């Protein structure tokens, strides 16, 4: 396997990539468990009732991915994961930038996400990518936040909704 860096080829996921993504997500989530509080995250769902709008992967085989859903008529970055052994190489930022570009090219006006506010590679990272916190997320995002709270995510740290505008 070639060790990708920030220039890792970002591409649309193929059916062959999909079985590896839950494993990659679980490995990436273990980093969060090392943060203060040291509580385990809920296991990633292997299936979801929402069909993704698109999934981008970095590398072949994938060492990072972004899953973008449609929520409230706009793009929603549902998941960003990078294999821990490949962290700190700009892969996550490259995948986020590619996801933003892909959403923009599909006519989306904005992209949202929900994340832990105070973990450096969550809230502060997304802010450095141009996302901003917003307090009135609308009905679809509010429902997502209720679901996240029911999963126990709010017990692990302060959660925020963030948005980046893709068009002026």
Q: Is 75 a member of any domain?
A: yes
- Tens of pLDDT along the chain (168 residues) come to 444 455 569 999 999 999 999 999 999 888 776 554 444 444 444 334 456 899 999 999 999 999 999 998 899 999 999 999 998 899 999 999 999 999 999 999 999 999 998 888 898 999 999 999 987 878 888 888 888 888 888 888 889 999 999 987
> If 0-12 CB within 10 Å is exposed, 13-18 middle and 19+ buried, where does residue 138 land?
middle
> For the chain, how many structural domains are there in total?
1
CA 59-61-64 angle, to 5 degrees, is 50
Whole-model pTM: value is 0.84
Q: Is 5 a member of any domain?
A: no
SS3 116: strand
Domain coverage including residue 129: 10-165
Q: Is 4 a member of any domain?
A: no
């Amino acid at each position: 396997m070639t060790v990708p860096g920030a220039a890792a080829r970002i591409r649309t996921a193929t059916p062959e990539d999909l079985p590896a993504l839950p494993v990659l997500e679980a490995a990436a989530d273990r980093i969060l468990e090392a943060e203060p509080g040291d509580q385990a995250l809920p296991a990633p769902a292997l299936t979801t009732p929402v069909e993704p709008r698109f999934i981008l992967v970095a590398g072949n085989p994938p060492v990072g991915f972004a899953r973008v859903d449609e929520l409230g008529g706009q793009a929603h970055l549902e998941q960003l994961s990078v294999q821990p052994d490949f962290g700190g190489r700009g892969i996550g930022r490259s995948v986020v930038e590619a996801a933003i570009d892909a959403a923009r090219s599909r006519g989306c006006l904005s992209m949202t996400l929900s994340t832990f506010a105070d973990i450096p590679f969550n809230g502060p990272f997304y802010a450095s990518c141009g996302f901003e916190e917003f307090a009135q997320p609308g009905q679809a995002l509010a429902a997502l936040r209720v679901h996240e709270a029911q999963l126990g995510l709010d017990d692990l740290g302060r959660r925020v909704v963030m948005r980046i505008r893709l068009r002026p």
